[in-house]
Each structure stands twice: as structure tokens, then as C-alpha cells.
Amino acid sequence: VARTRMVVVGGDAAGMSAAAQARKRRPPEELEIVAFERGRHTSYSACGLPYYAGDVVKDWRELVARTPEEHADQDIEVRTRHEVDAIDLEARRVRVRDLDGDRVVEEPWDVLVVATGSQPLRPPIAGIDLPGVHGLSVLEDGIELRRAVDAGPGRAVIVGGGYIGLEAAEALVRRGVPTALVEAAPQVMNRIDPDMGELVSQAVRDIGVELHLEEKVEAIEGDDRVRAVRTASRTLEADLVVLGLGTRPAVGLAESSGIRLGPSGAIAVNPRMQTPHDGVWAAGDCAESHHLVSGQPVSYHLGTIANKQGRVCGINIGGGYATFPGVLGTAVSKVCDVEVARTGLSEAELEELGLEWEQAVIDSTTRAGYFPGAAPIRTKVLADRRSGRLLGAQIVGKEGAAKRIDVFATAIWNRMNAQEMVNLDLSYAPPFSPVWDPVLIAVRKLAEQVERSLGDRL
Amino acid sequence: VARTRMVVVGGDAAGMSAAAQARKRRPPEELEIVAFERGRHTSYSACGLPYYAGDVVKDWRELVARTPEEHADQDIEVRTRHEVDAIDLEARRVRVRDLDGDRVVEEPWDVLVVATGSQPLRPPIAGIDLPGVHGLSVLEDGIELRRAVDAGPGRAVIVGGGYIGLEAAEALVRRGVPTALVEAAPQVMNRIDPDMGELVSQAVRDIGVELHLEEKVEAIEGDDRVRAVRTASRTLEADLVVLGLGTRPAVGLAESSGIRLGPSGAIAVNPRMQTPHDGVWAAGDCAESHHLVSGQPVSYHLGTIANKQGRVCGINIGGGYATFPGVLGTAVSKVCDVEVARTGLSEAELEELGLEWEQAVIDSTTRAGYFPGAAPIRTKVLADRRSGRLLGAQIVGKEGAAKRIDVFATAIWNRMNAQEMVNLDLSYAPPFSPVWDPVLIAVRKLAEQVERSLGDRL
């Protein structure tokens, strides 16, 4: 039998999960696996980068789940500092640039996995390329930012109030750097509804971040390095700027090679993670997902999805059978002691889909009210107006609040409605929840709301 | 219209929830509501009693969710220290004994809710009625136990290693009382499997409890008050004994009145919480539930179930429509910093049903491994051998581990199988979980196990 050659483009979560799963099923005699990674590192936790910058995690090596050497031990060859800059779908070759030696070679493949990830949005703002302006996307970014923070900057400005921006703000404040955050939208974390987002904005202010909402950055100023960030309303001094403006799928290579993109802008794949091109697969941030509530194609950039898609891809390449059914948009984060989580669709997303919904917002506690350490938890739930089917949930609260989002995610996955959820047999003991868990209090109120509205409208 | 009279027997979670829900839907002109409660208190958290004894909760009043006066404000009359000792199903009357005045009266009802709860098992052990031997079932028990602990007993013995026994042991150790625990079974918490229970036994020892497994109490010794507990192997000195031998439904009144019991020994009800007797309802610990995994009638005694059943009962009595579909046997507890949870069926229960299963046990961490505060979590999952349908789950771990059981409960409720669960879109950020949540790691291994076994056996 001829030996098959699997080439992986991108050595992080999705690509290396695919490699590992394929290897598990097919021995080196049958399947050769080579991965090309532009950076110096493989299989690391990008989500851990803000915590490394903030000195919560002491050594960046802890963020690396598997080094190139460890992959080599599994008969997976990884060539770091090697960038694939062209894919020939006909000849089944990739062109690879050695970033250190500056050599270019052509490498053949029988099976290709495109796992190029995502890249930070860098709008054309004057000065965005000045030294002192940091992204926080790959491990090298985290190492550089940590070094910059260690040097003791006088002031920092974060541009963008999404997860990365907020986690970076917390890290800087933690390190004693006076920090401002500029966000163009009226709230931070705009994937949750404004009423819930307000609680997060307050938490950001409470930890001492100077928060400027509804202000767009017009320019980053400085000569040989960054000196300030300018908005329409003010100029904020800064020795250090962190960009957290969101990400987009890194599909430049795919696009220029003729690989088909889906409506979300990410690479189109079927549930087995195959592209329409023979022998070509894609997984992770660069690959499209199906949203299980909206039914729409989406491009989310999360480690969980990347790992799962990589696993499915690798099982299929290895001769097994697996599918990736889709996503709910579940996410969790924290700003110091305030936890935030969401799953399903927000009001803005429902509005855009033309759906009508009922909602409930409730305040409760993470433990029995009388139990020491009982912390506040606000829960918002959204249901289809007619059927009561749960469409989305959001949680903002303190220690122990946010992980409850997983119950909502599991319920939405199973298309449960609020009425049925009320009776869910969830666990209770005073150190863990009130006798009616906040999840149940929320859906109980939501079910009543759905019933009332049906009665009113019929 | 004639005014309907609703009589509730038992003034705790189930009975008072039923009363409150019925009141919400029907005003006092239409529906009179009278509840008779043997004790002095209503609507309190029995689960909080060990924490009051242990001085974690400072005042027993904090455990009371609603006093008789607060119920009265909702036009629900509660007569405390009134015991119903007979029900006449034909004449629609109850006989009520005033425990303070020792008067007996007959009270008519149109609708009767039997919510008599559960009572501690008290096997015929010599000396079990000696002063100094405590139960921990009703609020008065908690107040008495607290008083006894405050008096500074020299040594305590706990009889029985279930939830109550373990929580009482923790309370006593916390208060500085040298404590031994005697359990007849080979492990504590025998509703979880031995391999998981072993971790709990170790936790009990670690907090300084002298643990004696596989020892049955033969007698409680003492003259005017308890002095020691005797097993076949030893005599343990004790100034204070706490019984935690489990509970049974308090159905003496129902049985002697001709109300039908189900196979579990609790009162038989339909999903609306109606008994087969016209106008007679039952809810809470004294009422039977349907187990959604085994399909069997069961009698579990948990505040969550009591509240839900009471709510369903009251909605129906109030003219609404609600059903209680059943239970999964979800439960959670902790022994100092070790958290324990379970849902669905254990191996012993599967065995008894004649089912065959595959299982997986995995060790992971509650947060990303590199994140400060990452605590160990062991997760065990059981699936139907052929379909992979999840049948049960158990968790033992530290801070932040146990509440994950709710994800399993929601998945089992929806009859998910392990293969599908692997792709569940659960939340992830380093302070909250590893990128593969322990729940997913467990079901991933379980799914592989099911596949492997299918392959082997086909």
C-alpha cells in the first residue's frame, strides 16, 4: 500500500488535534503526518495569554499543551517557523517558506488540513503599527506583552471591550498600570444584551479602569513609539496599547488558493470537516460552523470549537466516522470577580433574524441565601414567543455563577422549552445553590411569561 | 359560588408551595386555605440544619423561608403545633389534635393535600431513645442539636454515612468535637459507586473523623443519657449521638386513612400530583416519583423535588395545568472541601435492573491545569452498552467540581448518548475549565468505550 501523506497547515489546537486523532487510528507506515507552523510554538492556550501578561500564570511554558518535540514522539513531524504561502489544489502541493532560512520548498500532500486560525482585526488607524502597540493573538504576542508590562509602562490604553480587551485590562490593572479602555459601542462585551452588559461595564470601572464607551479611536499617536491614543473626545496618554478589536478567520491563503469560503467568510466545510475540494479539510477558527439556534453559518473563534472540529477532522482522516453538528455561541469570561457567560442568541441577534421572543431576568444567589459566600447572580433567558423554546441565556454574577451557562447550553442543544425546563432535576445543597437553582428560577419566570403572553395574544 | 376549602397537612416545602401556588391563582373569596403543621415552624430549609449545628449558619431563623405570619399575609392560614391524626375520605374531614391545648377537632375539606414529608429511620436498636441521641430531620432537631453542641460534648458518634451523617460529622469536627462515624456498608455515601465513594471516605478521614466501615451498631449504651455506641468490634464513647440512617416516607396517616401507596412505599400519585381518591392530592417526600432512567417508582426525599411537586400540585388545584414528569436522583453534597454529586443510576442500580453498561472514569481539573486554583475533579459516567445512552454520572472533586453534575442531569433528561454529548458547546475560559471540560473528557472516553465494545461484541 502506498503511504498517505497528511499535511497540516497551522500547528495549534485544530491542526494538531486533527493530527493526533489521525495518528491514533493510522500508524506511521500507513500515514505520514507533517505540520507547518509559522510561529515557534504548537498547541498552546491562546486564552491563557492575558493571564500570563497579568502574572497570574508565571511561565508561558505552562500554556503549551504539547511541544513540537512531544508531537514528534507521536510520529507527527512539526516544522515551526515554516509558513505555507500557497496551496496547489491540482498538483496537491503546498509552497512552504522557511521564515528563518528564507528558503522556499514545495511539499506534496494527499490529505491537506487547513487550520490557519484567525487573526486580529487591524483597522486602518494611523499609527497602528507603532512600536508599543500590541495584539494578543499568538503566543509570541503574549510573551512580548508580558515583557512590555514587566518594563513598567506609565499608562496603558486598551482598544476594544470584547473578551480579550477586558482580560487585558484586568491584567494591566493587576500589574499596577493605570489603564483606560476605549470602546466604540455603547457597552463592553457586545455579544450580551445591554442590560446585562451594563453590569460588566460597572465591574470594569470598579476595578479602576477608566472606561470610555461610544468613542472610536481616530489615531494612535507617537513618533518612534506609541505616545497616546486619540478619540473624537479626548487624547489618552499611553506607553502601551493593546488591541482587542475582534478577530477574523485567517483565510488569505485559502482564498488565494481557490478554496471556497462560506457566507460567514470562513472556509466552507461539511459536518465531517471536508471542504468541497478533493482531499482538502479545514478545522478551527478558519472553518465555518453551523449555528444550531439560528441555523446560520457562523465564524466563531474559540478554542473549544477548534479542538472539537480538529478532533472530528482527524477521526475522519484516520478512517473513522465523526461529525461536528454545530455551535451555540457559548462563551464565558471574567473581569476580576465578576463572571459573565452567554449561550444561544442575544436580543440583538434575535431581532436581526426577525424572531419574536419573551424574556425573563432574575436575581438570585449562587448558594442558599443564608449560606456564607452566597454571591449575587443575575440570569437572563430568552424564549420563542409561541413555543417557549429556549433561544438564549446570559449570566452575570460573582464566584460560582457563570458555569451554570452549561445547563442552558445543554438545554438549548436539546431544543427544550421553558415549561419543561422548570422540572429539570438539578442538584441542590445549601453550599451549592438555593433550593430553586437560579437556572430554574429564570425558566420558571420565563415559562410564566410565555403563558401570559400566549393568553394575551390569542 | 360556594367557597372551596383546601386543607394542607404538613407546613414545609411541598405543602406550602402547593398553598402558595393555589393562592396565586384563586383569591380568598373562592378558595380558603388552611395548613396544619405539627411543628412550630413552616417552610424552612431542612438541608441547612447541619450547617446551623456547625455554626456555619448563625441563626436558625435564617433557615426559615416563610413564617406562619408571612403565610397569613398571603391569606394562607397555618396552624402550627396541630397534628392531623386521621383523614376521613368519605366525609371529607380531618381530625386535628392541638398539641399544646390537647384539644381535638374535626375540620372539613374539599381539597386535601397530604404533605407529611419523611421521617428518619429508627431501627430497633437498644438505647436509641436515650437522651443525647439526636435525629436531624425537622427544624426543632437542628435547634436541639445546636444546643447540645454548644454545651461542649466530649465525644460524638455519628451513626450512618449518608448525606446527613457526613454533614453532621463535618459540623461536629468544625466545632472541635472529636467525632467517630459508624457505617454498616463498606463505604460512606452508598448511592455512589465504591470506587468514587472511596474518595469520600478518604475525605472524611482527612478532616479527622474516626471512620468505622462495615460495622453495625448493636446498641446505644447509657443509663439516664447516652454514654457509648457499641458495635461488634468496639465500644465508642459518646456524649452525643447523631442518627443518619436514612429516611422513609411519613405515610402512617395516609395508610391508616386508606390512601393508596405505590410500590416504593410512598403515596401513589399521577403526574398532576393527584391520588386516586377524589379531591386528595399528595406532594413532597411522602409522594412517589417516577424515575426517568429506570422507569421505576421511587421515593426520594429531597427539597428540590418537594418544592417542584408542591408547585405542580398547587397550580393544578388553582385551576392551572402542570405536570411533574419525574426525577433522575440528582444529588450533591460536600465534606469540608470535597464535593460529591451524582445523577441517574449507579452501577449497583443498573445491575439490579439487569442492564449492561460501559463506563469511563477520568481525572481532570476544575480550571485550566495551569490556572491558580485548578482543583482535582474525578468524573465517572455510565452508558447503555449498545446505544451509548447516558445512564448515570458521578463527580468527586474540590471547589467548583460538583455543580457540573447538572450538565449530566440535563443530558440524561434529554436521553442524550455519549457520542452526541462529546460535541456539546460548553463554556470555556482558563479560570472556569480546561479547554475540554471534564464533562466532555468523560463522555469522550465513554463514547470510545461504547464504540470499542460494540466492535468487540458484534
B177 touching A (Cβ < 8 Å): no
Instruction: Produce one character per residue of B346-381: b if its CB has 16 or more CB atoms within 10 Å, e if not.
Output: bbebbeeeebebbbbbbebbbbbebbeebeebbbbb
- CA separation for the pair B65, A18 (Å, rounded): 53
**How far lies A316's CA from each of A222, A274, A282, in Å?**
51, 9, 12
The answer to whether the CB of B339 falls within 8 A of the CB of B394 is: no
B48 to chain A: closest CA residue = A430
Q: Does residue B23 register a pLDDT over 80?
A: yes
Which three cell numbers mark B289?
416519583
> Looking at residue A102, what is its pLDDT?
82
**How far lies B182's CA from each of A310, B129, B136, B159, in Å?**
51, 18, 16, 5
Q: Which residues on B lie below 8 Å from A420 (Cβ)? A: 325
Confidence category of residue B456, pLDDT binned at 50, 70, 90:
confident
Q: Do B428 and A45 touch (CB under 8 A)?
A: no
What does the pLDDT average to over B322-347? 97
Catalytic (active site) residue B47: yes
CB contacts under 8 A, B 66-125 vs A, are: none
Q: Do B57 and A332 touch (CB under 8 A)?
A: no
Q: Report which of B335, B345, B340, B332 is spatially closest to residue B393, judged by C-alpha positions.
A: B345
The answer to whether the CB of B369 falls within 8 A of the CB of B436 is: no
- CA separation for the pair A189, A175 (Å, rounded): 23
- CA separation for the pair B149, B175 (Å, rounded): 8
Which three cell numbers mark A250?
485567517
The answer to whether the CB of A213 falls within 8 A of the CB of A105 is: no
What pLDDT tens digit does each residue of chain A (458 aa) get?
A: 689 999 999 999 999 999 999 999 999 999 999 999 999 999 999 999 999 999 999 999 999 999 999 999 999 999 999 999 999 999 999 999 999 988 999 999 999 999 999 999 999 999 999 999 999 999 999 999 999 999 999 999 999 999 999 999 999 999 999 999 999 999 999 899 999 999 999 999 999 999 999 999 999 999 999 999 999 999 999 999 999 999 999 999 999 999 999 999 999 999 999 999 999 999 999 999 999 999 999 999 999 999 999 999 999 999 999 999 999 999 999 998 999 999 999 999 999 999 999 999 999 999 999 999 999 999 999 999 999 999 999 999 999 999 999 999 999 999 999 999 999 999 999 999 999 999 999 999 999 999 999 887 65
Q: What is chain A's percent helix, strand, coil content, to nearest 5?
A: 30, 30, 40
- CA separation for the pair B396, B192 (Å, rounded): 10
Nearest to A435 among B163, B304, B370 (CB): B304
> Looking at residue A458, what is its pLDDT?
59
Give the distance from residue B313's alpha carbon to the nearest chain A alpha carbon, in angstroms: 13
B371 touching A (Cβ < 8 Å): yes
Which three cell numbers mark A225?
513609539
Q: Which residues on B lie below 8 Å from A272 (Cβ)? A: none
The answer to whether the CB of B46 falls within 8 A of the CB of B54 is: no
The verdict on ipTM greater than 0.90 is yes
Helix residue spans in A207-265 (DSSP H)? 252-256
B359 touching A (Cβ < 8 Å): no
- CA separation for the pair B153, B151 (Å, rounded): 6
Amino acid at A328: L
Residues of A with catalytic roles: 47
A57 touching B (Cβ < 8 Å): yes
> Looking at residue B455, what is its pLDDT?
81
β-sheet bridge partners, residue B108: B93
B455 touching A (Cβ < 8 Å): no
Nearest to B425 among A413, A420, A433 (CB): A413
- CA separation for the pair A204, A188 (Å, rounded): 9
Q: Do B430 and A47 touch (CB under 8 A)?
A: yes
Phi first, then psi: give them for residue B100, nearest 5 degrees.
-95, -50
SS (H, E, C) A29-71: CCEEEEEEECCCCCCECHHHHHHHHCCCCCCHHHHECCCHHHH
CB contacts under 8 A, B 315-334 vs A, are: 324-334
Q: Do B436 and A307 touch (CB under 8 A)?
A: yes
Confidence category of residue B2, pLDDT binned at 50, 70, 90:
confident
The answer to whether the CB of B450 falls within 8 A of the CB of A354 is: no
Q: Report which of B118, B117, B38 is spatially closest to residue B84, judged by C-alpha positions.
A: B38
- CA separation for the pair A399, A176 (Å, rounded): 23
DSSP conformation class of B260: P
Q: Do A402 and B432 touch (CB under 8 A)?
A: yes
- CA separation for the pair B95, A456 (Å, rounded): 44
> Looking at residue A104, what is its pLDDT?
97
Mean pLDDT in chain B? 96
Which three cell numbers mark B439?
464533562
Three-state secondary-structure class, residue A136: coil
Q: Does residue B359 register a pLDDT over 90?
A: yes
Mutate to test the interface with B, among A56, A406, A448 (most CBs of B within 10 A): A406
B343 touching A (Cβ < 8 Å): yes
Amino acid at B86: A
- CA separation for the pair B136, B116 (Å, rounded): 16
> Looking at residue B454, what is its pLDDT?
86
What is the separation, in whole angstroms, between the first and last Cα of chain B?
Answer: 68
The answer to whether the CB of B257 falls within 8 A of the CB of B286 is: no
> Looking at residue A353, what is its pLDDT?
97
- CA separation for the pair B265, B298 (Å, rounded): 8
Give the distance from residue A305's alpha carbon to the nearest chain B alpha carbon, in angstroms: 8
Q: Do A435 and B341 touch (CB under 8 A)?
A: no
Cross-sheet strand order for the sheet of B357-365: B331-335, B338-344, B390-397, B376-384, B357-365
Whole-model pTM above 0.90? yes
Q: Characterise B189 by phi-psi region: left (phi > 0), alpha (psi -120 to 50), beta (else).
A: left
